[in-house]
Structure formats: C-alpha cells, structure tokens
Amino acid sequence: MKSSDLRNVVLLGHGGVGKTSVAEAMLFDAGATDRLGRINEGNTVLDYDQEEIRRQASVSLSVAPFDWKGCTVNIIDTPGYFDFAGEMAEGVSVCDSAVIVVAGSMAVGTEKAWEFANSRNLPRVIFVNKMNDDTADFDKIYNELKEVLGRPCVALQLPIRQGGKLVGIVDGITMKARMFDKNGNLTDCDMPADMTDRAEEINASISEIVAETDDELMEKFFAGEKFTQEEIIKGLKIAINNCSCAPVLLGSAYENIGMKKLMDFIVDYMPSPLERTVLDYKDANGEDKQMKPDPDGAPALFVYKTIADPFVGRLSLFRVCSGTLKPDTVLYNANKGTEERIAQIFVLRGKKQIPVKELVCGDLGAVAKLNVTATNDTLCTKANAITLAPTVFPIPQLTLGIAPKARGDEEKISTSLSKLKDEDPVIQFYQNAETGQMLISGLGDQHIDTIVSKLKNRYGVSVTLEDPKVPYRETIRKKVTAEGLHKKQSGGAGQYGKVVIEFEPGENEELEFCERVFGGAVPKQFFPSVEKGLQESVKKGVLAGYPVVHLKATLIDGKYHPVDSKEVAFVSAAKIAFKAAVPQAAPVLLEPVYSVNVRVPERYMGDVIGDMNKRRGRVLGMNPIEGGLQEVIAEVPYAEIFKYATDLRSMTQARGSFTTEFVRYEEVPESAAKKIIEEAGSNMSNDED
C-alpha cells in the first residue's frame, strides 16, 4: 500500500440524514461486509455501541476501511447531533476530505458540517441522500445549498425519476443519461427530453469552475470552446482540492442507489494524504513549525481518539503522520516524556480489530493498552521529538449536579467518569468546593444523558441529575457592636471568656480581623482564639447558611478570668457575638453574576435579548462579528443560566453559541432572596428531621 493510494474521508451532516447508511452501503458495495446493515435493525458495522443501537443514532465516531479501484478508503462516520460535536472535531482532525450528507432540506447541521470542513480547509463533496423517497425534491435542496453555502456548490448530476422513484441520473460532465440496474450499476440511456436544458445549465456551471483553475482554460472558455472530458476532470480536481468547488452528487443509501458513483468520485477526485495535508507541530524547543506527510521520514503518530471499553481495554486510535509503523516498535510520547511499546497494530472496521503488518504514512490505525498515551498525544522517535497540533474541542455548555443513587458510590462515579473522559475529552466533572456538590458538564441534554447511560450500562453506577446548587453568599450593610459571653461552671475547672466585637462591611472578601483592646481586657494570647471563632462562624451565615464575605471584625473589649479563661472559651464567645451582631447589621444575600457572550445570526437578536431580560440579565452591548453574526454581551445571575444551552439552541435552531465567565457577586433582589431563604430554612429543617 502506498500513501498516494489512500483516501481519508469524514462523513458529516445533520442528524438523521443517513450518514451511517451511506457508510454501510459503501462497505457492502466494496465487499468489506456481506450484508447491508440497517440502523433500525441494530446490525450496522459502525453504530455498534449499545447506546447507538438503543437510540438508533450515532453518538461517537466509527472508522471503517474498504478497498475500491486500487485504493484504500478510510471512512470516519460521525454523529450529526450537536451534543456530540467533539466526535466530529476528532474525525475532521485526521481526514483529508469530507462528504457532507444532506436529505430533505438544507438543515442547520449542514451549515455546521460546512463550518467543520472550513475549520480544516477540507475538500468536500455534498451527497444528497434519500432521493428515492416519494417527496424528494433535488432542485429545492440544490437551490437551498447554493443560497446558504454559496457558489462553490455545483451539481454534477441530476436525478431521473419515474413514479416518484429514483431510476437514473444525468451526468453533467459527460452530458449522458444513465439508468440504474438492480445492482446499482449505471448503463447509458436516452436523455429525457425535459432535462436537456437543465443538463446544459449544470454543464455550463461546471465549465465555469474548471475555467478558473487555469489561464489557458479561461481563454478557451471565453472563446466559447468546449472543454474535453480530460480537461474537465483535471480542472474539477484542482477546484475541489483548493476548496473553490463543492460538487453535489445524489443517490439513496438505504436502497444502495448511486453509492458506487460516490465511491468512484472519492477515489478519482478526493486528495490522498500526500496531496494537500500540511501538519502544524512544535519541535523539541517548542517552536511552531509545519511539515508535509513524509512516507520516508521517522515514524510519528497522532492519537485522535481513545476508546475506553471495560472488556477490551483502552484502544488508542491514531493517524500515521510520518514514516511507516510496524508492530513491536518502541516510540516516545512527546507530550508525556515517556516511552510506549507498540505491540500489535490493527485497523478498525467498526468494533472489529483487523491485525496488519504495517501502516504507511497517512493511514489510520489502532493500538491497545498503551500505558499513559491519551487523546491529542504524539508518538514519535526520541531523536525526532515533536508534538503535533492538538484537536480543539468545543467548550461544555450545560452543567448539572450528579449524585449516586446508592450510598457510597461517590468514588465509583469519579473513577468511571475519568474513564469516560479519556474517551470523550469534552466531558468535565468536579466537586464544587463551596457547595460540596459533584458537577458534570457536557454539550447538551443528550450528551449528558448518554454519559449517564454509559455509567449505568458499562460501570454499574446509577446516578440522579439535578440543578447545580448556587454558591450564594451573605454579607452585612451596617456597622454594629455585639457582646459575646461564654461562661461554664459545672464542677472542676470552669470556662470563662467575654468579648465585645465591632462588625462592619469590609473591603476584602475574606474575614478581616483586627483588635483595638486597651488595658489588657483580653490578653493577647486569646486573640487567635477570637479570630478562630469568627473564622468558623463566617462559614455559615444567619440568613440561609451561606458563607459570609466582606466582613471586618474588630475586637474592642472583653473580660477574662485568671483561672477559668481558656482558648475554647474565647472561641465560643466570638461565635456568640457573631450570631448576635449579624442579624442586626442589615444582612443581605449575594449571588454570583456571570458575563455571557452570545453569538447568533441577526434574525434571532430580538428573541435573545428578550430572553435575557426574563433572566434578570443586563444587556451591556451588541457587536457585529465575522460570519454575519451578532454578539450580545450581557451579565446574568448564575441561577438563571443553568439550562441556557438548551434554551438558546431552541431559540436559534442551534445556530447560536455562547461563553460564560464569572464576574462578581451582587445583592439578590428582595423578592428572590425571600424565596431562597425560605427554601434554605425548609432544607435545614428536613436535615434536622
């Protein structure tokens, strides 16, 4: 196998358009499988995970190679739902071209797929699927594609339909009509009379694209001369590879119609790893550099995906970016600074592991049971240590509380989530230090729901999800003075301590303790005890039990007993003074406020701003940004944005995105504070019961 005979292709598109069916049909036609897998029957090669079978939809990427016309094609099938965008990012990171699958209409997922392809400057072909459906309308989809995605979209085929079914195509390059036989092969036929004008129209569009790839061809075009078929093929390949043309093909994967033509197109027009890929990396000195894939260079692998299977173990999926990889090789993990032994190497076809004797530059493979290697790591020779540019994963948008149903399973949750994070780096989880709640973050409801299902099915951990607890805080607005007396006499040594403390709003968030005691009313050795009592007190305020901040406490007077005064007495006295003072000092509840930057198409601005107002948000500004989007900058209480990821997606048909950042604490409005205090009082009562 030569690197020039490889094609690495990622399948992208909206959920439900049939990407997995497209891949299954190609595998079947190439003889890589002996049956055409059906998603609704749960027997596909690529959607093999229990979650995918249950949902009848992809939730993680899958890889499958097949041989076609002397080339090996590595297909990476990715999920279409936005909650699994991390999987799309991984697939795009190691492929040299993309097939964007559409069906029915131009969906927002098509736009997202286009953006993913743009992020890596990938040559692409658009495949209009499900053209055998009774309601299929190619002209409608094609016009939508051109309107939204622009001039690069050029149809190379037109459908011939009879009785509401797809029976053939008109080839815009050869200007010939062809009919499908029962095996999906094409045979020439007469051009339907009503399609001649449309065929000439798309042929003219193809010729225009071809003319722009070469000055001589441009002259020929303006002279009105027809291009030869060889000139069209050569010009199209150049235009596709420089991303100035996105050809549009058609078919129906479920009935296996038009798939062989798509496979021919991938082999004939899509680039090999050597034709256009440039890899960003850092050398041993940390300097940014670029390299072309080198079949004769030192071996270098980029790990783009980790699969954490409780039965098979950890699988590391990689692309050979330089050199040739053979089994029983020791490579250096440049990210971790340690060596890894590559024992047996294999390629994956879904979950099936196929051992191979070598993998050439540009090929995709897998290895089991590496010790420290994780997603985004580079494996190379120590003498030629480099770190390849990592995949940039989307930022989690939805955070929920997660708790075990069975008491004592907290540690099991953390261990299991760590394994799932190896597989899906988008996942974040941590213990909130203030609330004590375990939190999990993902891209949306489906993403987190999938994580919960995997916890149960793979690791036997059942959990419940809940809203995050808001880390409210309390403070005071008035200056007050209070006395605290601790006196205990019950046989034996007594305890005695009295303090007078002045409480007032402080500038620092942490407790500021001062003393202004005259005449030794409280000996200096008890000052630390007074401060200790206050430090313990501020952990739980008087309104709703939240930490007290921005408090200055000054010890101004007190009394002690030469025998009975002890440290513990002054700790208790300080606590008594605190409890007496704070209710009289105009205590208020504070809530965290976040800066929220929302990016949306302009047509959704009104809905977004109106929604911000409902969330007690303040819109601070609006700015036009690249891509025809508008940015809304607002400040919103944390309590109002738990489900914002889901709500924004609904408001903008998933075209909106946002980021958040903590800004400060602000006073909670009185009406809202009253409700929070009542709920806290009820919870404390329940805990006592």
User: What is residue 495's predicted lDDT score, i.e. its pLDDT?
Assistant: 87
Question: 450-465, pLDDT tens digit by residue?
Answer: 999 999 998 999 999 9
285 assigned to some structural domain: no
Same domain membership, residue 118 and residue 38: yes
530 assigned to some structural domain: yes
- Considering the chain, what percentage of its residues have pLDDT values greater than 90? 74
Same domain membership, residue 315 and residue 207: no
pLDDT of 143 > 90? The answer is yes
The Cα 184–Cα 169 span in angstroms is 12
pLDDT band of residue 183 (cuts 50, 70, 90) is confident
Poorest-confidence range of 128-137, 656-665, 672-681? 672-681
pLDDT of 78 > 90? The answer is yes
Picking from 324, 327, 316, 331, the residue whose alpha carbon sits closest to that of residue 361 is 324
- Give the domain-ending residue among 586, 603, 628: 586
395 assigned to some structural domain: no
pLDDT band of residue 682 (cuts 50, 70, 90) is low
pLDDT band of residue 211 (cuts 50, 70, 90) is very high
Poorest-confidence range of 236-240, 307-311, 332-336, 643-647? 307-311
Range 300-310 burial, b when 16+ CB lie within 10 A, else e: bbbbbbbbbee
Query: Which CATH number characterizes residue 540's domain?
Result: 3.30.230.10
Domain that residue 458 falls in: 403-466
Q: Is the dihedral of CA 599, 603, 609, 610 positive or negative?
A: negative
Same domain membership, residue 350 and residue 428: no
Residue 269 CB coordination number (10 Å): 20
Query: Which CATH number characterizes residue 637's domain?
Result: 3.30.70.240
Instruction: Please compute the mean of the pLDDT values over residues 28-54 and round it to a whole number.
Output: 88
pLDDT band of residue 684 (cuts 50, 70, 90) is low
**482 close to 577: Cβ distance less than 8 angstroms:** yes
Same domain membership, residue 104 and residue 168: yes
pTM of the complete model: 0.88
Helices (H), 314-444: 410-423
User: What is residue 688's predicted lDDT score, i.e. its pLDDT?
Assistant: 47
Residue 675: half-sphere exposure toward Cβ, Cα within 13 Å = 5
Instruction: Please compute the mean of the pLDDT values over residues 670-688 and round it to a whole number.
Output: 74
Residues, the chain: 689
Same domain membership, residue 383 and residue 252: no
Task: Compute, in degrees rounded to 10, the torsion defined by CA atoms 443, 448, 453, 456.
Answer: 130
Question: 368-411, pLDDT tens digit by residue?
Answer: 989 999 999 999 999 999 999 999 999 998 999 999 998 888 88
* CB within 8 Å of 535: residues ≥ 6 apart: 511
689 assigned to some structural domain: no
Residue 96 CB coordination number (10 Å): 25
Q: What angle do CA 602, 606, 612 make, to 5 degrees?
A: 115
398 assigned to some structural domain: no
- Tell me if residue 654 falls in helix, strand or coil: coil
Residue whose tokens read 């399948």: 11
Question: Which DSSP string corresponds to 306-351?
Answer: EEEETTTEEEEEEEEEES-B-SSEEEEETTTTEEEEE--EEEEETT
User: What does the block give as tokens for 478?
Assistant: 């008035």
Helices (H), 582-604: none
Task: Compute, in degrees rounded to 10, the torsion defined by CA atoms 273, 279, 284, 289.
Answer: 130
**630 close to 678: Cβ distance less than 8 angstroms:** no
Question: Which DSSP string corresponds to 501-562?
Answer: EEEEE-SSSS-EEEE---TTSS-GGGHHHHHHHHHHHTTS-SSSSPPB-SEEEEEEEEE--T
Query: Which CATH number characterizes residue 431's domain?
Result: 3.30.70.870
Q: Average pLDDT, whole number, for the chain? A: 92
User: What is residue 158's predicted lDDT score, i.e. its pLDDT?
Assistant: 96
Same domain membership, residue 581 and residue 663: no
User: What does the block give as tokens for 210?
Assistant: 């071809």
Q: Phi and psi dihedrals of 171, rounded to 5?
A: -85, 115
Same domain membership, residue 516 and residue 376: no
170 versus 560: the higher-pLDDT residue is 170
User: What is residue 683's predicted lDDT score, i.e. its pLDDT?
Assistant: 62
* CB within 8 Å of 115: residues ≥ 6 apart: none
| Domain count across the chain | 5
572 assigned to some structural domain: yes
The Cα 78–Cα 15 span in angstroms is 10
User: What is residue 422's predicted lDDT score, i.e. its pLDDT?
Assistant: 92
Range 598-628 burial, b when 16+ CB lie within 10 A, else e: bbbeeebeeebbebbeebbbebeeeeeeeee
pLDDT of 554 > 90? The answer is yes
Burial of 672 (0-12, 13-18, 19+ CB in 10 A): middle
Same domain membership, residue 330 and residue 421: no
The kind and range of the H/E element at 441 are strand 438-442
Question: 599-654, pLDDT tens digit by residue?
Answer: 999 999 999 999 999 999 999 999 998 878 899 999 999 999 988 999 999 999 88
The Cα 221–Cα 225 span in angstroms is 6
Same domain membership, residue 150 and residue 16: yes
**Side chain identity, residue 463:** V
Instruction: Please compute the mean of the pLDDT values over residues 666-682 and round it to a whole number.
Output: 87
- Give the domain-ending residue among 550, 569, 586: 586
Question: 22-34, pLDDT tens digit by residue?
Answer: 999 999 999 999 8
* CB within 8 Å of 137: residues ≥ 6 apart: none
Query: Which CATH number characterizes residue 174's domain?
Result: 3.40.50.300
Query: Which CATH number characterizes residue 368's domain?
Result: 2.40.30.10
**168 close to 189: Cβ distance less than 8 angstroms:** yes
Question: 442-500, pLDDT tens digit by residue?
Answer: 999 999 999 999 999 989 999 999 999 999 999 999 999 999 998 887 666 788 889 99
pLDDT band of residue 52 (cuts 50, 70, 90) is confident
CA-to-CA separations, 597 to 328, 644, 657, in angstroms, rounded: 50, 12, 8
pLDDT of 313 > 50? The answer is yes
User: What is residue 3's predicted lDDT score, i.e. its pLDDT?
Assistant: 93
Question: 411-438, pLDDT tens digit by residue?
Answer: 899 999 999 999 999 999 999 988 889 9
| Long-range interactions of 345-351: CB distance < 8 A, separation 24+ | 347/63, 347/65, 348/62, 348/63, 348/64, 348/315, 348/317, 349/27, 349/32, 349/45, 349/63, 349/64, 349/65, 350/44, 350/45, 350/46, 350/48, 350/62, 350/63, 350/64, 351/48
pLDDT band of residue 689 (cuts 50, 70, 90) is very low
Question: 262-306, pLDDT tens digit by residue?
Answer: 999 999 999 999 997 788 999 888 899 999 999 999 999 999 999
- Tell me if residue 601 falls in helix, strand or coil: strand
Same domain membership, residue 147 and residue 102: yes
User: What is residue 278's predicted lDDT score, i.e. its pLDDT?
Assistant: 85
Same domain membership, residue 164 and residue 34: yes
Same domain membership, residue 593 and residue 553: no
428 assigned to some structural domain: yes
- Give the domain-ending residue among 342, 364, 388: 388
- Tell me if residue 362 falls in helix, strand or coil: coil
Picking from 264, 253, 363, the residue whose alpha carbon sits closest to that of residue 28 is 253
The Cα 91–Cα 319 span in angstroms is 11
Poorest-confidence range of 216-225, 373-382, 504-513? 216-225
424 assigned to some structural domain: yes
pLDDT of 256 > 50? The answer is yes
